[in-house]
Structure 1
Amino acid sequence: MLTIFGFGMVVTFTTLIMTKRMSPFVALIVVPIAFALLAGTAVSDLGAMMLDGVKAIAPTGLMLMFAILYFGIMIDAGLFDPVVRYILSLVEGDPLKVLMGTAILAAFVSLDGDGSTTYMIVCASMLPLYHQLGMNAINLACVTILAGGVMNLTPWGGPLARAATALHVDPSAIFIPMLPAMAVGVAGVIGLSWYLGLVERRRLGFLTLGRPRTGQVFASLGAAATGSIDCRRDDAGDEFAMLPREDHADELRRPRLLWINAVLTAGLMICLILAVLPLPILFMIAFALALVINYPSLEEQRQRMAEHAGKVVAVVSLIFAAGVFTGILGGTGMVEAMSRNLLAIIPQSWGPFLAPIVGIISMPLTFFVSNDAFYFGVLPVVAEAASHYGISDVEMARASLIGQPVHLLSPLVPSTYLLVGLAGVEFGALQKFTIKWAILICLLMMVAALAGSAFPILSEG
């Protein structure tokens, strides 16, 4: 009976958020409570389960909150501006260099874990150059979304945070062994940009006509490269538009503090990889230092925190709501019952291969269902089943991240609508053009992850 209730809860949750009958935040709280009560769970026990779930994911919520605030301050202060200008100065009107510069810029800016920010900076910086040279903007959208899909596997990115939350594991334990796979993924995207650049060279006759004059292009990019473009949701809340920024972005820039901010960010990344302190503490310290260094005035600090508060609340509230979902799923015994029945239908010979199987199926599943549905609904059940074959939760969490470059092409991802809107390409055309390359990048990452023992191809447990 618990199995029926468990699968019913997952299916109901997935259906409600896919059909937009409920927001993920509401569904993560209401649906498990309703099914737990139907299964006969006492209200007093239910409260303890939910609180245990929230406590388990509290460190992840703290890490996300301060990571978002930290990178928000770095963007406000202009940490990425020199990189944008430098890449623009190197491309020299060569389509191949333009595309490779786009990939490198997208990978670098994606460090903040926010796809919308990446798309705005890359499109605002590079798109005028594409138009001036007559290049196809679908190439820009392709390499940008793929670079974002790879770099989104940082601990403060949505997928890894969801996987860590759903399985109650340390985000750094997932992230560090995945670094080689991410490096291979980024290299694959840069290699793809080189190939697409060769195609554009031939199409535009670059080698025979010579290099276009790009001086006027760079002159027209000054405002774009310094972040004078913003995006806003329309009244429906789903579509996006480019609008002039209203918060006087130039006044927030701190060019004299560039090297201090760069050293602070590099130090943060090194401490993160070396696990000097827990991730939430590292980001709390880094954010406090960044705020004091760049905006010493109390009024400026208040304004900066208020500016980024909306994004923080949206993300962190979802993470804590997920704690309610996973707490009830585990506390009622549903996940254990579901995994036992799942084990019964999985061929015995397939069990030891569950990690790579999850890596492969994460591509279509995260395309057709949201990350919330996959990580909070599917992953805990499969991970519990895998544990019977000696595959740990952290290994399953790593495997579940493989499909993210494909996931971003899903119509369920709002930020992708921003990208196609900024780039001026059709959503379906981007999917058709990019899907084969996204699958290839995912497979490259899987091979690298298996080679680096991030998860086993065959469990001997």
Structure 2
Amino acid sequence: MLALLGLVTILVLLVTIMTNKLTPLVALILVPLAAALIGGFGLESAGFMVGGIKKIAPVATMFVFAIVFFGILSDAGMMDPIIDRILKAVGMKPARITVGTAILAMVVHLDGSGAVTFLVTIPAMLPLYDRLKMRRVVLAAIAAMAAGTANMLPWGGPTLRAATSLHVPVTDVFNPMIFVLIIGLVAVLVFAYLLGVREEKRLAASGETVEVDHTEVHVRELSEEEQALRRPKMFWPNILLTIAVIAAMISGVLPAAISFMLGTVFALLLNYPQVDAQKKRVDAHAKAALMMASILFAAGAFTGIMRDSGMLKAMAETAANFVPADFASHMPAMVGVLSMPFSLLFDPDSYYFGVMPVIADVYKAFGGDPIAIGQASIIGQMTTGFPVSPLTASTFLLIGLTGVPLGEHQKFTIPLVFAISVIMTLAAVIFGVFPL
């Protein structure tokens, strides 16, 4: 009975979110609560919700302060010298420009926002592509590969959701994947270089090569509002602060939430010591932080009900009866390979709070560590897959900025991001993160 109730609950959650009948926030609270009441848990359901919220509070706190922290540093212009140096280095050579595009998108995506990454990367690089008659679909693909792979960072949405759903610290999910992520980023650079070389050959073969001064440097222009917020003298202090915050979080010296809380405080004091300026910077990034934090707390209520009511356990035990024992050890690798295509089927909330917990509990029933399923999921589900998925707004922002039709973008980019997810899955097996 509990297994059937849990299955119906997840199906209703998926349908209501994916058909836009309910927002993720409403669905994550209302659907499991209704299921718990139908299951006869009554007021006990409230206790399940509180328990789940308590467990994800540190993750939600980290995310809120991570958004504000990187937002402040971006406002202060920490990325500007890096962006300008990249633009200077690439010059007017297509192979350099494609690699520079990838590096730029990776660096900008430190804040974990796909929208910000595309809003900075595309306007900065598009004039170069157009001037040299390079295809815009190549620009879209490289930005997608770089931002998608970098989205595995511990303050990125997928990794945070995976940790929230599994009720574990985000570092438990991310730290073993550091070298896997590095392999993925290297693969992005290699693919970007090969695409650049292919563009050079295509332009030469078609006779479209444009004669340019290869020593010329493309200059990015800032608005008056952006210039007023810049603090160029604070570049190195901001860089050192960023390194310190990330190092403290990954090493475990400080909890992730505390690392970003302190980082936000010091970022404000260093760059905007005036109280009014501090309030404005926090207000500028509060909407994005609150939106995601509310979804995480709602997800905590959902997972609290599903776990403490016994529905997840019952579903896992039932599903385990249909999984061959010999196949169980390969589940993380299989999820890793399928994780990128999952982005085309499930939005992140539906997958990480509805589908993944069931897979993780089935794997646990066979003696596996459920964290491995979370790690396999973040290889592609709304990481490499988010910039090609029609379920994310960032995809439409990317194709809107580049002027590339969705179908053309998906046809060109999906094979590339799928290949990167497979490469990272193999790396996870080789490094021993996933069992053979």
Question: What is the correspondence of 1:257-406 to structure 2 with a 5 Å cutoff?
Answer: 257-403=234-380, 404-406=383-385
2: CA distance, partners of 1:335 / 1:155? 25
| Aligned-partner residue type, residue 266 of structure 2 | L
Task: Map 1:212-231; keep pairs closer than 5 Å.
Answer: 212-213=212-213, 218=218, 221-223=219-221, 226=222, 228=223
Do the aligned partners of 2:335 and 2:377 also contact (CA within 8 Å) in 1?
yes
Contact 1:16 1:22 in 2 (8 A): yes
Aligned residue number for residue 242 of structure 1? none
Question: What is the distance in 2 between the residues matched to 1:347 and 1:374?
Answer: 23
On the 8 A contact 1:128/1:217 being kept in 2, the answer is no
Q: How many angstroms does 1:382 deviate by?
A: 1.1
User: TM-score with structure 2 length normalisation?
Assistant: 0.96
**Hey, what does 2:6 align to over in structure 1?**
6
Q: Which among 414, 420, 423 is matched to residue 435 of structure 1?
A: 414
What is the identity, as a one-letter code, of the residue corresponding to 1:199?
Answer: R
Once the two structures are TM-superposed, the CA of residue 214 in structure 1 deviates from its matched residue by 6.2
Instruction: State the one-letter code of the partner of 1:222.
Output: R
Q: 1:139 to 1:355 in 2, by over 3 A?
A: same
Of 397, 400, 409, which residue of structure 2 is paired with 1:421?
Answer: 400
Contact residue 386 and residue 395 of structure 2 kept, 8 A: no
2:103 corresponds to: 104
Tell me, yes or no, if the aligned pair for 1:93 and 1:211 is still in contact at 8 Å: no
Cα 1:162–1:107, aligned 2, differ >3 Å: closer, same or farther? same
TM-score by length of 1: 0.91
How much does 1:92 deviate?
1.7
Does the CA-based 8 Å contact 1:387-1:393 persist in structure 2? Answer: yes
Q: Which residue identity is paired with 2:276?
A: E
SS of residue paired to 1:434:
helix
* Structure 2 partner of 1:167: 166
Aligned to 2:20, the other structure's residue is in SS state: coil
Q: Tell me, in whole angstroms, the C-alpha distance in 1 between the residues paired with 2:154 and 2:292.
A: 13
* Superposition deviation, residue 212 in structure 1: 1.3
Moved over 3 A (4+): 206-211, 214-217
Quick one: distance in 2 between partners of 1:357 and 1:222?
Answer: 43
Q: Work out the CA distance in 1 between the residues paired with 2:335 and 2:424.
A: 14
Q: Distance in 2 between matches of 1:207 and 1:182?
A: 37
Alignment gaps of 5+ in structure 2: none
1:314-344 residue CA offsets vs partner (Å, 9 max, x unmatched): 1100000000100000011000000011101
CA distance in 2, matches of 1:302, 1:33: 37
Distance in 1 between residues matched to 2:108 and 2:216, nearest whole Å: 25
Residue 66 of structure 1 aligns with which residue? 65
Residue identity opposite 1:298 in structure 2 = V
2:330 alignment partner, SS class:
helix
- Per-residue CA distance 1:181-233 (angstroms, 9 max, x = gap): 11111111100011110111112229996851367772xx431xx4x4xxxxx
Give distance in 2, aligned partners of 1:267 and 1:211: 45
Instruction: From the superposition, tell whether residues 363 and 222 of structure 1 become closer, same or farther in structure 2 (CA, over 3 Å).
Output: closer
Query: Does structure 2 conserve the Cα–Cα contact (< 8 Å) formed by 1:69 and 1:287?
Result: yes
Give the aligned partner of residue 176 of structure 1.
Answer: 175
1:29 equivalent in structure 2: 29
Give the superposition deviation at 1:146. 0.9
Any conservation in 2 of the 1:94–1:206 contact (CA below 8 Å)? Answer: no
Task: Provide the secondary structure at the position in 1 that maps to 2:26.
Answer: helix
SS of the equivalent of 2:153 reads coil
When the two chains are superposed, the root-mean-square deviation of aligned CA atoms in Å is 1.6
Residues 355 and 391 of structure 1 are in contact (CA less than 8 Å); yes or no, is this contact kept in structure 2? no
Of stretches 360-369 and 287-296 in structure 1, the one that deviates more from structure 2 is 360-369
The AA in structure 1 aligned to 2:69 is Y
Partner of 2:40: 40
Give matches, 1:220-259, under 5 Å. 221-223=219-221, 226=222, 228=223, 248-259=225-236
After superposition, what is the alpha-carbon deviation per residue over 1:14-37, rounded to whole angstroms, capped at 9, x for unaligned? 001110111101100000011111
Question: Does structure 2 conserve the Cα–Cα contact (< 8 Å) formed by 1:102 and 1:140?
Answer: yes
Select between 77-86 and 263-272 the one with higher mean Cα deviation: 263-272
CA distance in 2, matches of 1:97, 1:361: 32
- Tell whether the 8 Å contact from 2:325 to 2:366 is kept in structure 1 after alignment: no
Residue 365 of structure 1 deviates from its aligned partner by 2.1
Question: Which residue identity does 2:145 align to in structure 1?
Answer: L
The aligned amino acid for 2:428 is A
Letter of the 1:192 counterpart? F
- Find the counterpart in structure 1 of residue 88 from structure 2: 89
Seq. identity, %:
38
Does the 8 A contact of 1:6 with 1:335 survive in 2? yes
What is the alpha-carbon distance in structure 2 between the residues aligned to residue 372 and residue 210 of structure 1?
A: 46
Note if contact 1:24-1:318 (Cα within 8 Å) is conserved in structure 2. Answer: yes
Shift of 1:65: 0.5
List gaps (5 residues or longer) in structure 1.
229-246
- Secondary structure of 2:385's counterpart equals helix
- Kindly provide the amino acid, as one letter, of the partner of residue 386 in structure 1: Y
CA distance in 1: counterparts of 2:164 and 2:360, whole angstroms = 13
Q: 1:449, 1:185 → 2: CA distance?
A: 11
Moved more, 295-304 or 366-375: 366-375
Contact 1:127 1:137 in 2 (8 A): yes
Could you say which residue in structure 2 is the equivalent of 1:408?
A: 387
Deviations 1:112-137, CA, capped at 9 Å, x for gaps: 10000100110121111111111111
